[in-house]
Amino acid sequence: AQTVTQSQPEMSVQEAETVTLSCTYDTSENNYYLFWYKQPPSRQMILVIRQEAYKQQNATENRFSVNFQKAAKSFSLKISDSQLGDTAMYFCAFILTGAGSYQLTFGKGTKLSVIP
Amino acid sequence: EPEVTQTPSHQVTQMGQEVILRCVPISNHLYFYWYRQILGQKVEFLVSFYNNEISEKSEIFDDQFSVERPDGSNFTLKIRSTKLEDSAMYFCASKIGSTDTQYFGPGTRLTVL
């Protein structure tokens, strides 16, 4: 079974600063994707960024980037130039790939507060 | 941009009653999911649906739960006899193919009294 661990229940960052959220995962499989989802107070789940395990290059999406360390099974999210709208719960998630309708496995989340 | 929609946004029901939560996945998507999130906890997988049948389900998805795709657009989750512990946010998600990203709907908040 796959597990996802987010060791930081809460974090805060000053507006315009950079913050890094941690995520580790455990799997014996080799083919998978990793995601960060954002959940603002509205509680909608919004995709932030995705990383395919077979890609060595770290994914980036505007102010969001990841540090994917496959050997260490680590997948951290860096948010640059933090904005007030970044205040949300952030969930790290894992999914196996290949033929099938695989489920997402989520971590417990990190609550990020951006302070003006 | 197409998106997953869910209705109602909030459902309040009495314990023991049946509820049906509705989802309209993105139109060309083939894989459908239900997840739930109890307040303050992580998102948990309930069931996946492909080719008009359940492909995977979790331990949470017991005989009180069922899913259906009654027509070409809707995907429903039925809870036959609700319990207090069914109170949660229920998310529908869909994706095009087996290796694609799942896109989530806005959720239905279910409150069982």
Cross-chain Cβ contact B101/A35 below 8 Å: yes
- Across B72-86, b (16+ Cβ under 10 Å) vs e yields eeebebebeebeeeb
Only one residue has tokens 């946004």, namely: B9
Using the predicted structure, report yes or no on whether residue B82 has a pLDDT greater than 80: yes
Q: Which of the 8 DSSP states describes residue A41?
A: T
Using the predicted structure, report yes or no on whether residue B71 has a pLDDT greater than 90: no
User: Is residue A68 less than 8 Å (CB to CB) from chain B?
Assistant: no
User: Is residue A72 less than 8 Å (CB to CB) from chain B?
Assistant: no
Chain B positions in Cβ-Cβ contact with residue A101 (cut-off 8 Å): 31, 33, 48-50, 55-56, 98
Q: Report pLDDT for A100.
A: 64
Only one residue has tokens 């999130």, namely: B37
- Count Cα atoms within 13 angstroms, Cβ side, for A109: 21
User: Is residue A7 less than 8 Å (CB to CB) from chain B?
Assistant: no
Taken as a whole, chain A contains a residue count of: 116
Q: Report pLDDT for B70.
A: 84
Per DSSP (E only), the strands in chain A are 3-5, 10-14, 19-21, 24-26, 32-39, 46-52, 60-61, 64-69, 74-79, 88-96, 105-106, 110-115
Residue B5 φ then ψ, to 5°: -120, 150
Q: What is the mean pLDDT of residues B73-88?
A: 96
User: Is residue A91 less than 8 Å (CB to CB) from chain B?
Assistant: yes
Q: Report pLDDT for B1.
A: 73
Task: Show the low-confidence residues of chain A (pLDDT under 50).
Answer: none
User: Is residue A3 less than 8 Å (CB to CB) from chain B?
Assistant: no
Cross-chain Cβ contact B56/A45 below 8 Å: no
Q: Report pLDDT for A2.
A: 81
Q: How far apart are CA A4 and CA A65, in angstroms?
A: 19
- The residue type of A20 is T
User: Is residue A105 less than 8 Å (CB to CB) from chain B?
Assistant: yes
User: CA of A73: how far to CAs of A15, A34, A104, B11, B41, in Å?
Assistant: 30, 11, 17, 40, 23
Using the predicted structure, report yes or no on whether residue B110 has a pLDDT greater than 70: yes
Higher pLDDT pick, B73 / A79: A79
Cross-chain Cβ contact A102/B41 below 8 Å: no
CA angle A79, A84, A87 (to 5 degrees): 70
Q: Report pLDDT for A101.
A: 60
Chain B positions in Cβ-Cβ contact with residue A111 (cut-off 8 Å): none
Using the predicted structure, report yes or no on whether residue B4 has a pLDDT greater than 80: yes
Cross-chain Cβ contact A108/B41 below 8 Å: yes
Q: Which of the 8 DSSP states describes residue A2?
A: -
Identify from B95, B99, B109, B110 which residue to disrupt to test chain A contact, counting A C-beta atoms within 10 A and taking the largest count: B99
Cross-chain Cβ contact A100/B99 below 8 Å: no
B14-48 pLDDT, tens per residue? 999 999 999 999 998 999 999 999 988 889 999 99
Pairing of the two strands B108-112 and B10-13: parallel
Cross-chain Cβ contact A33/B35 below 8 Å: no
Instruction: Tell me the CA end-to-end span of chain B in Å, nearest whole number.
Output: 37
